[in-house]
C-alpha cells in the first residue's frame, strides 16, 4: 500500500463570468484555483492557509469533486477522479468526506441527529439492521463526546461546538479515509476551538484518518498540521513542514502572514519581524502578470517579478517556494533574513 493518498496535479477551477439576458455571453473567468499541485500522505494532516478569497475552499471542494475542475487531475489512492462520474464517483465519495465551516448551515434543521447520521450510512448501504445501526450511532456520538440522548434532538438544540461535533460524526459515519475540514473552528468561540481541534487529533489517531484542514488562522494550522501549504490568489506559493515553515518562512507573503499573528509577550513582539502589506488583493478575474504577489510585495525585483512567473521549486528538503526572492536565497546570493521590509 502506497503512503501517498492524494495527488493533485496542476488543478484549475475557473468560474465563467457571464453577461447578457438573451445571449448569456462568457466575458471572462474567475481564476479561483489556477495550477495547484500538492501531495497528501496517508495518515497526515495537511494544512492549507491563506486570506479570504485565495481559493483554498474551492480547492478543497474540487478535491472531492463538489466543484468540477477546469483542468488538471486529482488522484485518490491511485485512482484518477478526473473522468469519474455517476455511480463510480458516488461510491468513491464514501472514502472522502467534508466537515463544513458553519455547522448550523450545513445541518438540516428539520432532521434529528439520528436522521442526519443515518442518511449517509443508508446511501452507501451501511444501514443493515436497526440493532447494528443503533450501536454504530452510539459509538459515533461517544467518539465525538456527545451523549446517546442527542440522537433524538435537533440541530437548534445544541451549541455551536456541539453542532460541529455532530458534523464531524456525520463525516465519520461512512468510514472515510480522507476528511476535508473547511474552517472547522472559525465559527466557534475561542474557548471551544481547542476542544474541537483536540477532538480531531484524537479521532485521527483512533480511525487512521487523513486530513486536509483549510484555515485562515495560522495558530490553528500550527497546532494540528504536519505540513502546511500557503495559497495566494489561486496558487500555492509555499509548502513546508509545519515546524520548518513557522521557524523560517521564505516567501514574503508567508512572512507577512506570520508577522500579523498576535503574540502576548511584548518582548517577543518588539523583536520579531513586522511586515505591512500595501495595496489591495488583486481581482482573481484579472490576476497580474508575472508573480501574482508583486503588486504588494515589499521586496519586488524590478522588471523580473512583474514579468516572470516563479515556479514552485524545492528550496530544501520538503520545502517548496514560488518566489524569485527565495531563489536568490537558494543560490546563496542572499541570506534568509538579509532583506528588511524597510530597505
Please tell me the distance from the alpha carbon of residue 1 to that of residue 15, in angstroms, as a whole number. Answer: 36
Rounded average pLDDT over 187-208: 90
Structural contact between residues 201 and 1, judged by C-beta atoms closer than 8 angstroms: no
Comparing CA positions, the residue from 301, 295, 326 lying closest to residue 311 is 326
Please write the tens of the pLDDT for every residue from 4-17.
Answer: 999 999 999 999 99
Provide the pLDDT for residue 191.
82
pLDDT exceeds cutoff 50 at 342: no
Better pLDDT: 166 or 281 = 166
Provide the pLDDT for residue 256.
87
- Give residue 115's pLDDT band: very low, low, confident or very high (50, 70, 90): very high
- Give residue 333's pLDDT band: very low, low, confident or very high (50, 70, 90): confident
Please write the tens of the pLDDT for every residue from 60-93.
Answer: 999 999 999 999 999 999 999 988 888 899 999 9
What are the residues whose beta carbons fall under 8 Å from the beta carbon of 66, sequence distance 6 or more?
98
Provide the pLDDT for residue 337.
53
What are the residues whose beta carbons fall under 8 Å from the beta carbon of 141, sequence distance 6 or more?
113, 147, 148, 150, 151, 169
Least confident stretch, 131-135, 189-193, 317-321 = 189-193
Rounded average pLDDT over 51-66: 92
Amino acid at each position: 500500500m502506497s503512503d501517498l493518498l492524494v495527488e493533485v496535479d496542476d488543478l484549475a477551477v475557473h468560474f465563467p463570468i457571464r453577461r447578457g439576458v438573451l445571449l448569456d455571453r462568457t466575458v471572462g473567468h474567475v481564476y479561483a484555483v489556477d495550477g495547484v499541485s500538492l501531495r497528501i500522505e496517508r495518515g497526515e494532516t495537511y494544512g492549507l492557509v491563506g486570506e479570504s478569497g485565495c481559493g483554498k475552499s474551492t480547492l478543497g471542494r474540487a478535491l472531492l469533486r463538489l466543484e468540477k475542475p477546469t483542468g488538471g487531475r486529482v488522484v485518490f489512492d491511485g485512482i484518477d477522479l478526473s473522468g469519474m462520474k455517476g455511480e463510480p464517483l458516488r461510491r468513491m465519495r464514501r472514502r472522502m468526506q467534508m466537515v463544513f465551516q458553519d455547522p448550523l448551515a450545513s445541518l438540516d434543521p428539520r432532521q434529528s441527529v439520528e436522521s442526519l447520521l443515518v442518511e449517509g450510512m443508508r446511501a452507501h448501504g451501511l444501514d443493515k439492521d436497526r440493532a447494528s445501526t443503533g450501536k454504530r450511532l452510539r459509538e459515533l456520538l461517544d467518539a465525538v463526546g456527545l451523549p446517546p440522548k442527542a440522537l433524538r434532538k435537533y440541530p437548534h438544540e445544541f451549541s455551536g461546538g456541539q453542532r460541529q461535533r455532530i458534523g464531524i460524526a456525520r463525516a465519520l459515519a461512512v468510514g472515510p479515509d480522507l476528511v476535508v475540514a473547511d474552517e472547522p473552528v472559525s465559527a466557534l468561540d475561542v474557548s471551544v476551538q481547542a476542544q474541537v481541534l483536540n477532538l480531531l487529533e484524537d479521532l485521527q489517531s483512533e480511525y487512521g484518518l487523513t486530513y486536509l484542514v483549510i484555515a485562515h488562522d495560522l495558530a490553528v494550522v500550527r497546532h494540528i498540521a504536519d505540513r502546511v501549504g500557503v495559497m495566494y490568489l489561486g496558487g500555492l506559493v509555499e509548502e513546508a513542514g509545519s515546524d520548518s515553515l513557522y521557524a523560517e518562512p521564505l516567501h514574503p507573503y508567508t512572512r507577512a502572514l506570520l508577522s500579523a499573528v498576535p503574540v502576548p509577550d511584548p518582548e517577543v513582539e518588539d523583536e520579531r519581524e513586522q511586515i505591512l502589506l500595501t495595496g489591495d488583493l488583486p481581482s482573481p478575474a484579472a490576476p497580474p502578470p508575472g508573480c501574482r504577489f508583486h503588486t504588494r510585495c515589499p521586496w519586488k525585483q524590478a522588471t523580473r517579478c512583474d514579468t516572470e512567473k516563479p515556479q514552485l521549486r524545492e528550496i530544501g528538503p520538503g520545502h517548496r517556494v514560488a518566489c524569485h526572492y527565495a531563489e536568490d536565497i537558494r543560490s546563496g546570493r542572499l541570506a534568509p533574513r538579509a532583506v528588511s521590509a524597510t530597505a
